[in-house]
Chain A
Amino acid sequence: MKNDDGVSEAIGFILIFSIVVLGIAIVVLYGFPLLIAGQGSADMRNMEQTVIVLQNDLKSISYKMVPYKETALQVQGGVLFVTEASGTFEVLIDGDSKYNSQVGQIRYVSDLDSTRIVIENGAVLTRPERGSGSAMLAEPRWYYDDPSNTLILSFIEVQTERERALAGVGRIEMKNDPVQKITREYTLPVDSLEIHYSPLSPEHDYSVAWENYLTGRLGMVQNSENVYTHPSASELVVQETVITITGF
């Protein structure tokens, strides 16, 4: 037989209760910030998907003659902006400007995470709030056709009559403006093409992403910072679609 004269129910209860309280306190103190950080990155992942869906809509409107698209979406843990302010693209042939446009942005800024996601000129880009790096999450449809040495640059310009911001559930309406659609063809003399990208400001600088895309994917050559040329293109097609965004 065991001797359990020294066992007290009250002390046992206090011991167990304090262990439970201590456990809860540790979870609240250390676990909660982790949970919030996890929420931030989960929001970011969801919004990456949402923004790629929006980019697909823009692509359908620009490349498939779709006149109108409406998307219901949920913006989680941040705000989605639509603005006409963005980086500027310029296409020059022999120093003569053939196309120049500030293409506009659809931008997601998270409350918890310091990363931003934007759609600029049909590409989905991301960058930290501070710092100079940037990356392309989904590419625009610029391409080079080898047999005909044709370079096709398509610009997707976003227009909105006022700056828009959306948080929570909302609807984005996109409308193609067929009158403003441009398709121009140019014959390029050797080494005459120049493409310039000028970022809006250091906080909205996506130069690194565009550099990697243009030099890595399209085989362009960087002449100087943000100035690119294509070594073998002899024909150039410049296409621009203007998309008006309304809704929320």
Chain B
Amino acid sequence: MAGLNDNGQWIVLMGFLISIALLFLMVIINQATLVGQTTAEGVLEFPKHEIRDLRGEVFRAGGEMNDVLYDDIRVISLKRNHAIVSVSSLKDSVVFGDTTATMVTIRFNNGVCVYEETFLV
């Protein structure tokens, strides 16, 4: 091995390093599809529009909220969105000087997401 020229050994070494790096990248890329799917599912499953619809209806009804309306909202949510919804309102419970406001608490649960909010109408 006396006259052997070993100046090119670094090429072999780099080859090893690059292949190991590629292996790591492969593992990461493999995970990426899985992570992408879970994230997309999470976004799709989140009932944003359902909750907005419910809030909208409760705001629109305002102080006029009664048992019949509440029952309609509850049944429609159950049938269409597979969600349990409860709305409770305390009429004229908040007093600012000579104006009063109704405090409403809504609760939305569809098995994936539970949302609760209290506001004044």
| B84 lies within 8 A of A148 (CB) | yes
* Contact indicator per residue, chain A 146-158, by CB within 8 Å of chain B (1) or not (0): 0110101010000
Contacts of B112 in A (CB 8 A): 141
| B84 lies within 8 A of A56 (CB) | no
| B82 lies within 8 A of A150 (CB) | no
Assembled-state Cα–Cα distance A141/B84 (Å): 13
A143 and chain B: residue at smallest CB distance = B111
Assembled-state Cα–Cα distance A23/B112 (Å): 55
Residue in B80, B84, B107 with the greatest tally of chain A CB atoms within 10 Å: B84
A182 and chain B: residue at smallest CB distance = B79
Contacts of B82 in A (CB 8 A): 62-63, 141, 152, 154, 239
Contact of A150 with B84 at beta-carbon distance under 8 Å, contacts A141-B112, A145-B109, A183-B78 already known: yes
Assembled-state Cα–Cα distance A147/B107 (Å): 10
B50 and chain A: residue at smallest CB distance = A64
Assembled-state Cα–Cα distance A222/B73 (Å): 34
Assembled-state Cα–Cα distance A199/B110 (Å): 28
Contacts of B111 in A (CB 8 A): 141-143, 152
| B84 lies within 8 A of A63 (CB) | no
Assembled-state Cα–Cα distance A8/B84 (Å): 87
| B79 lies within 8 A of A56 (CB) | no
The reply on A10 being an interface residue by CB < 8 A is no
| B80 lies within 8 A of A56 (CB) | no
Q: What's the least CB distance linking A92 to chain B, in Å? A: 22
Assembled-state Cα–Cα distance A237/B83 (Å): 11
The reply on B6 being an interface residue by CB < 8 A is no
The reply on B102 being an interface residue by CB < 8 A is no
Contacts of B84 in A (CB 8 A): 145, 148, 150, 152, 237
Contacts of B41 in A (CB 8 A): 56
| B81 lies within 8 A of A63 (CB) | yes
| A148 lies within 8 A of B78 (CB) | no
Assembled-state Cα–Cα distance A148/B9 (Å): 73
Assembled-state Cα–Cα distance A150/B82 (Å): 13
Residue in B41, B80, B111, B112 with the greatest tally of chain A CB atoms within 10 Å: B111
Q: What's the least CB distance linking B104 to chain A, in Å? A: 16
Q: What's the least CB distance linking B84 to chain A, in Å? A: 4
A142 and chain B: residue at smallest CB distance = B111
Assembled-state Cα–Cα distance A143/B81 (Å): 14
The reply on A65 being an interface residue by CB < 8 A is yes
Assembled-state Cα–Cα distance A183/B82 (Å): 9
A144 and chain B: residue at smallest CB distance = B111
Assembled-state Cα–Cα distance A239/B112 (Å): 17
| A148 lies within 8 A of B79 (CB) | no
Q: What's the least CB distance linking A155 to chain B, in Å? A: 12
Contact among A49, A65, A237 for B80, CB-based, below 8 A: A65
Q: Could you list which residues of chain A lie within 8 angstroms of chain B, going by C-beta atoms?
A: 49, 56, 62-65, 141-143, 145, 147-148, 150, 152, 154, 183, 185, 237, 239
**Additional A-B contact list (9), CB under 8 Å, known A65-B80, A143-B109, A148-B86:** A141-B82, A142-B111, A143-B111, A145-B84, A145-B109, A148-B84, A154-B82, A183-B78, A185-B78
Q: List 11 A-B contacts (CB under 8 A).
A: A56-B41, A62-B82, A63-B81, A63-B110, A142-B111, A143-B111, A147-B107, A150-B84, A183-B78, A237-B78, A237-B84
Q: Could you list which residues of chain B lie within 8 angstroms of chain A, going by C-beta atoms?
A: 37, 41, 78-82, 84, 86, 107, 109-112
